[in-house]
Amino acid sequence: MIRIYVHIPFCDSKCIYCAFASFVAENGVKNQYFDFLNNEIINSNLDDKVVSSIYFGGGTPSSVEPKQIVRTLETIKNNFHVLSDAEITIECNPCSTSQEKLFSYYNAGFNRISFGVQSLNNSMLKFLSRRHDKRVALQAVKLAKKVGFENISADLILGLKKGNVVRDARALINVGVKHISAYMLQVEEGTQLKALVLDHSDVIKNDDQAVKDYNRLCNFLDNHGFERYEISNFAFNGFQSEHNLGYWRGEKYIGFGLSAHSFDGKNKRWANSSNLGDYYKRKIVQEVLSKEEIDEEKIMLGLRCYLGFNLKDVSFDLENNKNFQQMIKDKILFREEDQVRLNPKYYEISNSIILKLLS
Ligand SMILES: C[S@@+](CC[C@H](N)C(=O)[O-])C[C@H]1O[C@@H](n2cnc3c(N)ncnc32)[C@H](O)[C@@H]1O
Ligand code: SF4
């Protein structure tokens, strides 16, 4: 069984904070890309043909003509066996969402939609150079519901100087959002935001303030029936992202498109180039992981979400590790037989806990 990721690298404009492989392009460039992408899928020649989830991400899949999206999903369906209950997600920017596009996605078989909302504070949206405002974001969610989507997710960004992340979450839930991803604003190298922050350090919140926002959001969502099933991901009963769970369980996934990553579920990872010219030349970077690296990854991915990891699945001798024993005593880690989970109270410092455990 495999999971498929499809990368659509186009956006209507580049946001000041974004370091994803995404850019603005003319129709000719987009059409050429989709021809190549569809050929990549057709010629992929994989043994494993059964697909349990598909994720169209980007970039902004909603910024291209819907017929290209529908065509690409059809190509996948014609070349693989997509399970009838497969989760099929498309990422959309509220600014390029229309009822017509949503209908095309829904009729083609998409059953999950993820909106890049970021904030419902109009001055923060402007600061982030987003093209939508609060009204457009809420309208996009309402349209998706009207068209028939039940499984709707929204991305929020934490650490913004203005706005109120709890109020935003409440408004989104009121219009039908069932899943929220909340990411701390990352100041990435090479972005316009990086230069801004160097000049005016007051444009974003400091770490302590941002963590306060995160904790307030966690409490609010917990009180409204949303489970925090990963550090940054919260879902109403039954609306966890199957696709993401697959990544965290270390399952096999295949990526198509610019910069898309793949993993064989054992020890091989490979990635298409993030340079368009090199992608068209089929330049691929491969990596074979050592047993130690695989086990480290199992622990890291497992502890970042509610799944945890199984002591029998890793070769590290944690039973005799003093840090491990102490963390169990301090209830930082929970152990049920051989399954180990991180106490959700410590999610926001999970990185330092994982480092301590592996040191
Ligand atoms: C590919 S985008 C989502 C779809 C669409 N491109 C959009 O932005 O509306 C994935 C998400 O990554 C998050 N993201 C991107 N850059 C980020 C950064 N520097 N810090 C925090 N979150 C970021 C945003 O929440 C964004 O919605
Ligand atoms: S955040 Fe989304 S819309 Fe903005 S540049 Fe990145 S991928 Fe494009």
Pocket test for ligand 1, best of 7, 11, 12, 20 (most atoms within 8 A of CB): 20
What does DSSP assign to residue 154? E
The arithmetic mean of pLDDT across residues 321-345, rounded, is 94
Does one domain contain both 176 and 103?
yes
Count Cα atoms within 13 angstroms, Cβ side, for 16.
16
What does DSSP assign to residue 81? E
**Is residue 200 pLDDT above 80, yes or no?**
no
Is residue 122 included in any domain, yes or no?
Answer: yes
Is residue 255 included in any domain, yes or no?
Answer: no
The arithmetic mean of pLDDT across residues 146-156, rounded, is 98
Residue minimizing CA distance to atom 7 of ligand 2:
59
Residue 258: Cβ within 10 Å count: 25
- Ligand 2: centre distance to CA 326 (Å): 42
CATH number at residue 305: 1.10.10
- Which atom number of ligand 2 is nearest to the Cα of residue 118? 1
Does one domain contain both 163 and 32?
yes
Residue 185 beta carbon below 6 angstroms from any ligand 1 atom: yes
Which positions ≥6 away from 89 have C-beta within 8 Å? 53, 54, 55, 56, 57, 110, 112, 113, 114, 153, 241, 243
Residue where one domain finishes, among candidates 247, 275, 307: 247
**Is residue 225 pLDDT above 90, yes or no?**
yes
The arithmetic mean of pLDDT across residues 89-97, rounded, is 98
Residue minimizing CA distance to atom 2 of ligand 2:
59
Residue 140: Cβ within 10 Å count: 28
Is residue 268 included in any domain, yes or no?
Answer: no
The boundaries of the domain holding residue 308 are: 291-359
- Ligand 2: centre distance to CA 243 (Å): 20
CATH number at residue 38: 3.30.750.200
Does one domain contain both 354 and 208?
no
CB contact at 8 A, 71 and 34? yes
- pTM, entire model: 0.96
Does one domain contain both 200 and 303?
no
Residue minimizing CA distance to atom 6 of ligand 2:
18
Is residue 265 included in any domain, yes or no?
Answer: no
| Six-digit token string for 220 | 């609010």
Question: pLDDT class for 99, splitting at 50, 70, 90?
Answer: very high
**Is residue 237 pLDDT above 80, yes or no?**
yes
Residue minimizing CA distance to atom 4 of ligand 2:
15
Pocket test for ligand 2, best of 12, 13, 16, 22 (most atoms within 8 A of CB): 22
The arithmetic mean of pLDDT across residues 165-187, rounded, is 97
Does one domain contain both 139 and 44?
yes
The arithmetic mean of pLDDT across residues 188-204, rounded, is 84
**Is residue 113 pLDDT above 80, yes or no?**
yes
Question: pLDDT class for 204, splitting at 50, 70, 90?
Answer: confident
Angle ∠(141,143,144) on CA atoms, nearest 5: 65
Predicted pLDDT at 178: 98
- Ligand 2: centre distance to CA 58 (Å): 8
- Ligand 1: centre distance to CA 116 (Å): 6
Does one domain contain both 28 and 157?
yes
The arithmetic mean of pLDDT across residues 90-113, rounded, is 98
Residue 18 beta carbon below 6 angstroms from any ligand 1 atom: yes
- Ligand 2: centre distance to CA 284 (Å): 24
Is residue 208 included in any domain, yes or no?
Answer: yes
Is residue 270 included in any domain, yes or no?
Answer: no
| Six-digit token string for 217 | 């959001």
- Residue 338 DSSP SS3: coil
- Which atom number of ligand 2 is nearest to the Cα of residue 129? 4
The arithmetic mean of pLDDT across residues 18-46, rounded, is 97
- Ligand 1: centre distance to CA 330 (Å): 35
CA distance 172 to 3: 28
Which positions ≥6 away from 185 have C-beta within 8 Å? 17, 157, 158, 159, 160, 193, 204, 210
Ligand 2: list residues with CB < 6 Å. Answer: 11, 14-15, 18, 20, 22, 58-60, 93, 116
Residue where one domain finishes, among candidates 227, 247, 267: 247
**Is residue 199 pLDDT above 80, yes or no?**
no
- Ligand 1: centre distance to CA 18 (Å): 7
Rg of the chain's alpha carbons, rounded to an integer? 21
Predicted pLDDT at 165: 97
**Is residue 359 pLDDT above 90, yes or no?**
no
CA distance 235 to 72: 28
* Overall domain count for the chain: 2
Predicted pLDDT at 196: 87
